[in-house]
Amino acid sequence: MSVSLLLVVAVLVVALTVSVVVGRVLTRRDGVVRSTVDASAAVPDLGLPPGRPAVVHFSAQWCGPCAGVRRVVDDVCAELPEVAHVEIDMDANPAAARELSVLSLPTTFIFDADGRQRYRSSGVPKAADLRSALEPLLA
């Protein structure tokens, strides 16, 4: 093998490694349910049912992963009938998306029975994470 071929292979390996690391860094928070900092902040009118915790997720007709969120949230809400599921089309309600700083789709929120934002997730959340976040709100 010639030196130039070895150099090309080495550059390709380095480039591939860098791209994998950058990709992992950029997507490491996808699907992770995180507690929100200020649960007392006012939220726009999202049609939350009074006196019940709710899972709200922003979606759009053109968003492929949003169907995955819908399935996960539907499954969790079927197991926890006290929890409401509200889906908001970002294209139809951009003001609510702006107010909640929705920058990417899908984005999912969990609100407590008093309508305060408690958790947030970008990407497709895991069902176990949603259940873990919701169960304390049902007590």
User: Taking the CA of residue 30 as centre, how many other CA atoms within 13 Å lie in the half-sphere pointing to its CB?
Assistant: 15
Nearest to 64 by CA among 124, 122, 24, 129: 124
Q: Which of 24-28, 94-98, 132-136 shows the lowest mean pLDDT across its residues?
A: 24-28
pLDDT at 17: 85
Topology at the third CATH level for domain 32-138:
Glutaredoxin (3.40.30)
pTM of this structure? 0.71
Mind giving me the DSSP string for 54-90? Answer: EEEEEE-TT-SHHHHHHHHHHHHHHH-TTSEEEEEET
**Are 130 and 76 within 8 A, CB to CB?**
yes
Most trustworthy range by pLDDT among 19-28, 78-87, 95-104:
78-87
Could you give the CA distance from residue 35 to residue 109 in angstroms, rounded to a whole number?
10
107 pLDDT above the threshold of 80: yes
Q: What is the pLDDT of residues 53-95, one digit of tens each?
A: 999 999 999 999 999 999 999 999 999 999 999 999 999 999 9
33 CB burial (10 A radius; 0-12, 13-18, 19+)? buried
Question: How many whole angstroms from its chain centre is CA 60?
Answer: 14
Pairing of strands 107-111, 54-59: antiparallel
